[in-house]
Amino acid sequence: MNFLKLVQGVVGEENATSDRAICASYSRDQHWHFVPAKNPAFVVRPGDKEEVREVLVLANREKVPVVPYSTGINVRGLAIPVHEGSVLLDLSRMNRILEVNPEMKTATVEPGVTFGMLLEETRKHKLRPAFPDAPLTVSVLVNYYLRGIYQTSAADGHDHTLSYEMILPNGETLKTGSRSLSEMPYFRYGVGPDFTGVFSAHPGTCGVVTELTAKLYRLYDNRKVYFVGFDEVGAATKVIYNLMNDELAASIRLVDNQSWLKGICGTFDFPYEELPKFVLCVLVEGVDGIFEAKAKLVQEYLADSADSADSADSGGTGGRVLEFPAEFARTFEEESLGGAEKSCMVFGLQGRGNYHCIGLYGPLTLAAEYYALHEKTALEVGIPQDHVHFYIDPIYSFHGQLCYFELDVFYDGSEPGAGEKLRNYNAKQFQRLLDLGIYGWFRPYAGIIEPTVERIGHLAEVWKKFLRVLDPNEIMNRGKLL
Ligand SMILES: Cc1cc2nc3c(=O)[nH]c(=O)nc-3n(C[C@H](O)[C@H](O)[C@H](O)COP(=O)(O)OP(=O)(O)OC[C@H]3O[C@@H](n4cnc5c(N)ncnc54)[C@H](O)[C@@H]3O)c2cc1C
């Protein structure tokens, strides 16, 4: 019997197809400049984890490559098949919120549950998930499994996953954290090594995650936003350091005045070009008493940094507290309440329509150098200055002065040569950033693995061996890690 018939026997005829038109719709994403389109041979839509297991066992037996896909919004080709004859495992039918537990402050979800769906449930308990600055139609499970970045609230920290369940190509189920021992999936470090961490951040390479338990966070009624302008990246770092060191801000973002600020303020209709080049956006929140105390301290730090004739003597950094219309602050306040979808406005910036970024983790101390390198490399490959954008999100806990940096290019993808310029930019910039020093990359983007693996020594071999143990027939979508 052919593979299609076999899987149709598991998921039903209506949920497995080799129709070319349907397969083609899974063949590319927004970053086709970097990852060439490739059709899967089959699209299969399991309805529960038993069906996932049976399909995986069949694929493993028949040596058919598997690409898991949850909501498929990803950029960077992560869910684009590498091999001919792949089966695209579309998990979007598995979209149940299995538990929202207000006492434990956790949610357990299937792959197809989106941030919008989860927020709807959690806000009933005055809780929220940590939001990426992504559309609310994105899979919570995949975003956390990919170890995303959550600029909507620095206070949430970096890692929101407690435990999960994963099915391996041979049909075995692995449960991480306290899940492996009990029905209580609420603790990350259950038994032995941190397997929750070990499987994360190289999505689709080990097996299929079918359930994930994540942390939830409080929704506060008291929220206040401040904006401060700076002419240079380096000038803003002192006040960022102070706010992070004293754990005062729920969210901090330094953005350039032409890019994400428009999303944060919620309108294009403002003379942003008249502002200082960089704007620091600070959100303070908390319960009564703590909120007022934090707000007072934040105001003091911002006043200290503000521009004045004796700024250098008084320790000021040339910052300028900005008075924006009240609705701008409201928009930023609401961001961590699920307003993140508006960030997509940015994609239409200045009519260019396309967005490219290199996202990385590094110390605040290198902020100005990352920005300078971004401008330099972009200009060298022919990307005009006004296409170059940048932002910084410092992250609690602030050990190592941990920040997420985004080196953005907004461009018109239909311009001749646009793709080539960006490919040249990436090739140079990955090497230069590695030479300058970074903590790590945001995601396993196309082109990143090769120069990075060269630098991690024996760890690369261990990583590959580890994948071979889990997936000896190499049916998962490993890309350059083969
Ligand atoms: C406009 C925009 C802005 C964004 N901003 C941010 C941001 O600020 N912060 C951030 O963190 N992210 C951001 N993202 C990325 C977004 O959060 C990711 O798209 C999301 O995390 C992954 O969901 P997906 O639907 O794209 O995953 P998919 O495309 O379905 O899958 C992504 C990868 O995970 C694998 N995978 C999928 N499901 C499973 C599974 N069940 N088990 C194992 N592997 C699986 C796939 O094979 C693939 O490799 C942004 C995306 C967009 C489009």
Distance 147 CA to ligand 1 centre (A): 10
> Rounded mean pLDDT of 436-457?
88
pLDDT, tens digit (0-9, with 9 covering 90-100), for 134-148 = 778 899 999 999 887
Say how many CA atoms lie within 13 Å of 88 toward its Cβ: 30
pLDDT, tens digit (0-9, with 9 covering 90-100), for 216-246 = 998 888 888 899 999 999 999 999 999 999 9
Q: Is residue 339 scored above 50 in pLDDT?
A: no
Q: Is residue 4 scored above 90 in pLDDT?
A: yes
**Residue 260: pLDDT band with limits 50, 70, 90:** confident
> Rounded mean pLDDT of 277-287?
91
Q: What is the pLDDT of residue 345?
A: 46
**Residue 265: pLDDT band with limits 50, 70, 90:** confident
Q: What is the pTM of this model?
A: 0.93
Distance 145 CA to ligand 1 centre (A): 9
**pLDDT: which is higher, 385 or 374:** 374
Q: What is the pLDDT of residue 150?
A: 63
CATH architecture of 221-334: 2-Layer Sandwich (3.30)
Distance 150 CA to ligand 1 centre (A): 13
Q: Domain 97-218: which topology?
A: 3.30.465
Give dist(CA 11, CA 135) in Å, integer: 29
Q: Is residue 482 scored above 60 in pLDDT?
A: yes
> Rounded mean pLDDT of 99-103?
98
Chain centroid to CA 451: how far? 21
Q: Is residue 363 scored above 70 in pLDDT?
A: yes
Q: What is the pLDDT of residue 351?
A: 57
**Residue 350: pLDDT band with limits 50, 70, 90:** low
Pick the range with the lowest mean pLDDT from 175-184, 308-317, 418-427: 308-317
Q: Which atom of ligand 1 is nearest to the CA of 208?
A: 42
Burial 344-359 (b: 16+ CB within 10 A, else e): eebeebeebebbbbbb
Which of 27, 55, 56, 73 to probe ligand 1 with, by most ligand atoms within 8 A of CB?
Answer: 73
Number of Cβ atoms within 10 Å of the Cβ of 465: 9
* Among 473, 429, 481, 480, residue whose Cα is nearest residue 58: 473
Which of 76, 146, 167, 470 to probe ligand 1 with, by most ligand atoms within 8 A of CB?
Answer: 146
Distance 294 CA to ligand 1 centre (A): 34
Candidates 3.30.1360, 3.30.1490, 3.30.300, 1.10.405; CATH matching 352-444? 3.30.300
Q: Which atom of ligand 1 is nearest to the CA of 149?
A: 11
Burial 171-189 (b: 16+ CB within 10 A, else e): beebbbbbbeeeebbbbbe
pLDDT, tens digit (0-9, with 9 covering 90-100), for 102-159 = 999 999 999 999 998 999 999 999 998 888 877 788 999 999 998 876 655 667 788 8
Pick the range with the lowest mean pLDDT from 179-183, 297-301, 440-444: 440-444
**pLDDT: which is higher, 191 or 106:** 106
Work out the mean pLDDT of the chain and round it to a whole number. Answer: 88
Q: What is the pLDDT of residue 415?
A: 86
Give dist(CA 452, CA 429) in Å, integer: 12
User: Residues with beta carbon inside 6 Å of ligand 1?
Assistant: 67-75, 78-79, 91, 111, 132-135, 138-139, 142-143, 146, 148-149, 151, 203-204, 208-209, 344, 477
Pick the range with the lowest mean pLDDT from 153-162, 170-179, 210-219, 417-426: 153-162
Q: Which atom of ligand 1 is nearest to the CA of 442?
A: 11
Residue holding tokens 């004293």? 246
**pLDDT: which is higher, 327 or 364:** 364
Residue holding tokens 């200009």? 379
Candidates 3.40.50.300, 2.60.40.10, 3.30.43.10, 1.10.3720.10; CATH matching 3-91? 3.30.43.10
Say how many CA atoms lie within 13 Å of 394 toward its Cβ: 33
pLDDT, tens digit (0-9, with 9 covering 90-100), for 290-323 = 999 999 999 999 888 876 544 555 566 778 888 8
Distance 152 CA to ligand 1 centre (A): 17
